Structures are given as C-alpha cells and as structure tokens.
Amino acid sequence: MDYTPVSKVAPRCLVVDDEPLIRNLAVRSLSQHGIKCDSTGDGHEASTMLAERYYDCALIDLQVPGKNGHALCVQALNLEHSPVVVVITGLAIPQIEEDLHKRGIQKIFHKPGNIKEIALYFRDVLQKQTVLKDQTPLPDDLSDEEQVNLEQLLSEPVSEFTSTLDSLPVASISAQGGTTEHFVIVVFCRAADRTENIASLIRSKGYSAIAATSSDHLLELLNSTRVDLLVIEKELRGFLDGIQIIESLCNQLLSVNVVLISADRMASLPDTPAMSNVIRKFDTTMSDQDLADSIILILKSFNSRPLMIDEHARRLVSDAERIPPMPHVLAKIISYLEQPVEEIDFDLLAKDIEIDARLTSELLRVTNSSSTGVAHQVTTTRNAIRLLGAKRAITLCLALGIRTMNSELLKPWGDELREWYLKRVALTASVARVAAQQFEKVPHESAFLLGIMQDLGILVFAEHYSEKYFTRVIQRVRTIGSLTLVASEKLVTNTNHAQVSAAVLRLWGFPPTIIEPVLLHHSPISNKESKIIASYLRCMKLAELFADFADNPVPQRRTALNDFVREHISAPPGECGAMLLQAVSQAQEMSRQFETPNIDVDTLKSAITKLQEED
C-alpha cells in the first residue's frame, strides 16, 4: 500500500467521474494548483484505490458505473485517515444531499459547474489543514521506536465515530445498568413517500428514524450506524426484495432486528437463519400511522442494543476462505449455552454429542484423564456429562471442536508461532476460568470458553495478511515490551482481533451473550455493561495481560498487569499471585488434555514472582 506523509509531498487527489471530459479537466485544473491526481471512471476501481492508497482529497461524481458515488463517499469518510471529499453531480435530490451533509460532506457542486472553483476550494481547504502525525498510516519501514511513538498517539482516548444521526432527535431508555441508550430505526419501503412518512411519524415521537433511499443506502447506514430496528417491505423496487436484503445482511454478518411489511403469511416465508432476525410481521394494508404506533410499542419492549462489529472486521471474516463452517454437531451444542443448567436434558445432550463419533471419543478421553480424578473408566457419553456436569461437558465439546477447526487456520504457521498461539490460548483460558471462579464469582466454564475464543481474530489476520502480520505485529509485539498487540493491529489492519474474533463467532452462530464480551474485551469497561459482562471482561483482560507478560516479562508489562489488578480486582496481591499459579497448573493440564505444546511451568512461576517486584 502506498502511504506517503502528505507533509513531505504534494497533496494527492482521487478524481472519480465517468465523463472523460470532466475527469480530464478536473485533473488538469487540480494539477495547476500543485495537487497530484489519480483518476478513474469506474466505482469499483475507485473503491480499490481508496482502500489501497492514501488521498488528501477526493472529487466524486454520484453517478458512476460499478460502486455508486454515494457509497464511495461513505467509504472515504469512514477511512481512518479520511480525505476531504467533494461531490460533483448532475442530480438534484434533497434527501441524498441532506444525508451527505450529515455524513461530513461540506461541499456539493452541481453540473455544469466551474472546475476551477472546485480546484480553488480544495487548495484552500488543504492549506488550512493541520497535518497530524497520526494521519499517516504505518509505512513498511517504520522503525521500532517510531512504532512505539505512533502507538502512544493512537492509545489516547478518541471520541466514537459520529454517524448520520447527530442532528436527529433521539429517544432514551434506562437500561439495567442505569445508562441511557438511544434507539435508531431505519425504514425502507417500496414507495419513497411511504418510507419518509413512516420515518417522520416515528421521529415525531422522539425517536431517531432514517428513510433509506435505496438498498445501497440501506447497507451504508447499517455499516456506519448502530441500528436497533430495520423496518422493511417485502416488495421493493429494484433487483432485490426485502427477503433477499435480509438474507444478504445475514451473509455479511450484520445482525439487526427486523420488522417485515408483507402481504404474505409468516408461515409462508422462508425458514432460514436470516429470517430469525424478523421479530414481527405487519400486513401491507396497515396504515402508516398504525405501523408507526406498532413499531414504537416494539421499541418500548427493547432493553438492550444490538452489537456492532466494524465493517472491516466483518468483511475480513466473510471473505476469508480458510475459516471452516461450524459443524452441525457443534451448532446443536451451541444452542445449549443459553439454557439454564437445570433445564438441560442429559439424554438429549448426549444424543446430540454422539452425532459426531470423533467428538464423542475426545470427550471420553478428556473425562478419563487424570485431571478429573475418576475412580473408574467412563464409557458412555451420558455418564461423562453426569460426572463433568452439563456446562463443563458443553464447554469441553466446544473447546475441542474449535481446536480442530483452528488447526486448518494454523497450517501455514511456522512451529514457533503455532506454539506461541496455542500456549497463549491455554493461558488466557485458564486465567479467565480461575479468576471467574475465585474473584468474580461468575460461571467459570463460560469464562474458560471466552478465554479460548477471544484471540480467534489473530488466526484470521494471519490468514489474510500473512507475513505482513507476522513481522509487523506478532514479532514486534513479542520482542518490544512497550508495544501492545491491539494498537499494532490497528496500525496494520485498521481493526483489531477483538472485532474479528466477534465476527467469527457471529459467523459460527454463537449467541450475543458470548459474542459481546469477546467484542468488548479491548474496550474500556463502562457502566453500560451488565454486571456479569463486566465480570467476564475483567477476567479476559486480566488473562490477556498475563499472557503478554508471560511472553515477555518486561517492566512495562509488569506495571500494566499490576495496575489493572489494583484497579479492577478486589484481592490482595498475594491472592492474585496464588490465583495465577493455580491457573498456570490448569494451563499445563489443558495442554495435556488438548494435546497442544507443553507449558513451561517453571518459567511462568518465575514470571509470577517478578510481579511482586516494585514498579
């Protein structure tokens, strides 16, 4: 990727227009003002250029073949280092212009326009801009010291991405944690006037409601905004109907509650996983007012907001070729995760496990290992479940299944990196489990499962970025004590492994109660989270900090771990050290059970001793 600091070279502009005359005039005029230009008349090519090269500014026509100009504007504005975007168009549609202005487009020129005026506008804006150090993405030859400095800049708190909703009214509710949540609704019907009328009626009650103008616009909204409810009509104008759009959203790992407007009976609609997101169906004959009133009643019943995984992470996962699909047997076992333990039918669970002979054999092998302390050999799945308990049996089955699935992603790795990852997983899972059991008093088997899955995104990064990720992220983080994994990932990939891990779990069909802590385990713990989610997050953060310290026990990582314990763990330092020693022993046993590389217990005990040293 060609990322050159704008402070050292002339500004660079991307010109996107399918009319060669206008495109060439724009390039010539911009060049006369010292602005270098790349140009294209194709939307897909422009999208690739935006993704692969840094631009200070972009001139985009709304009507270009391939990816439309509106989508290109959204892509450009959502870039971590977004250019100044100016729109040039022959259209005069107030809704689109209003939406673009809300997204951050400050200037829209209408054809036929004055190209020189556009060039002067760019020149003036670029001259006024202050070029910040963190506007330049990580170049390939960045030194270790420069990467440390850049990470420190990126680690400063930043405000959350501002969506198109900033100027719209919002409706608030008090969630369980006492925080205020804002609900957002997107409406998309066959008739534009009905779409706008329903959205307007919802807004009149104090809610944020956006009228989607097209399927492309709808997707852009869902990618850039946390949407609580999508109201969509089955019969639409264009190539896709409402059902196909719902299916497409599911394929892109976008999770949103849906209200469907259709003349069809619910029983006649497709029975697919995507349709499980449809929470209500209303008939097309209902009046706009009745629909709006019904939608508001639905919103009042909500007590939480959907999870929002960033678009880049979802795209990495949906495009990845080596991520194996969730086997049928594991999909069935996942369904037990949200059942109360007293309601789990042992016979039915045993029957579901026995669908897979290999999984059954693995479960019996682990059950009969020395760690369980069985007096007599267990030979049936039901007896294994009875001995282990339903939750532990479910956790072990999922952990064993994920280990097998991960082996496909681990194949290209060298022995050293493969061993590093597997040992890291054993440590994070074991520390999370023991911390949950001793300090947080939350289900420790769930914490163990979260510890196994919180770093899945590392495998996806390695598969997608290959040597670039190994050398510029993993190897540097392992050897330079002041670097952190998540900040280094952000520099190289524009996302982090927590986001990607959550996208993998959504692909595999895990429930939101599992996805949420994985998604948030590199975010600050806030009072918006429920008490149990906050407890899991503390366990996962502690586990990852210890894994980082164990890999390279330098003073910076010792300080980070000790500071976290003092702030978040209500236990004397001695008790925390004892907990970590117990977790190391469990990690060693886990490596034997799962047949992964041995844990060096003596080295880890020495590292734990160093934690007691003065910072």
Q: What are phi and psi of 76, to 5 degrees?
A: -65, -45
Closest CA to 486 of 474, 470, 497: 497
| Contacts by residues 21-28 (CB-CB < 8 Å, ≥ 24 positions apart) | 22/61, 22/88, 22/111, 22/115, 25/115, 26/59, 26/115, 26/118, 26/119
The winner for highest mean pLDDT among 96-105, 247-256, 309-318, 576-585 is: 576-585
Inform me whether the pLDDT recorded for 374 exceeds 50. yes
Question: For residue 536, how far is the Cα from the chain centroid?
Answer: 18
490, 153 Cβ separation under 8 angstroms? no
Compute the distance between CA of residue 101 and CA of residue 98 in angstroms, rounded to an integer.
Answer: 5
Compute the distance between CA of residue 306 and CA of residue 105 in angstroms, rounded to an integer.
Answer: 28
pLDDT confidence band for 613 (50 / 70 / 90): low
60, 39 Cβ separation under 8 angstroms? no
Measured at the alpha carbon of residue 368, what is the angle toward residues 362 and 373, in degrees to the nearest 5?
Answer: 145
Q: State the average pLDDT over residues 435-463.
A: 95
Per-residue model confidence (pLDDT) at position 115: 81
Q: Exposed, middle or buried by CB within 10 Å (0-12, 13-18, 19+), for 613?
A: exposed
Q: Which 3 state secondary structure label does DSSP give 497?
A: helix
Q: State the average pLDDT over residues 64-71.
A: 87
Q: State the average pLDDT over residues 442-466.
A: 94
Per-residue model confidence (pLDDT) at position 143: 64
Strand order in the sheet with 12-16: 36-40, 12-16, 57-61, 84-89, 107-110
Per-residue model confidence (pLDDT) at position 128: 72
Inform me whether the pLDDT recorded for 318 exceeds 50. yes
- Torsion, Cα of 564, 568, 574, 579 (10° steps): -90
Considering Cα of 87, then 92, then 95, then 96, what sign does the dihedral take? negative
- Domains annotated on the chain, with CATH: 12-137 (3.40.50.2300), 172-301 (3.40.50.2300), 311-611 (1.10.3210.10)
Per-residue model confidence (pLDDT) at position 435: 96
User: What residues pair up with 229 in beta bridges, in sequence order?
Assistant: 185, 257
List Cβ neighbours of 7 (8 Å cut-off, separation of 6 or more).
131
Per-residue model confidence (pLDDT) at position 552: 93
Per-residue model confidence (pLDDT) at position 373: 66
Q: State the average pLDDT over residues 6-20.
A: 77
Indicate the range of 130-134, 324-328, 373-377, 382-386 predicted with least confidence.
130-134
Closest CA to 599 of 430, 472, 356: 430
Inform me whether the pLDDT recorded for 223 exceeds 50. yes
Per-residue model confidence (pLDDT) at position 161: 34
336 token code pair: 């037990």
Predicted TM-score of the model (pTM): 0.69
Per-residue model confidence (pLDDT) at position 530: 87
143 token code pair: 């030194």
Per-residue model confidence (pLDDT) at position 222: 85
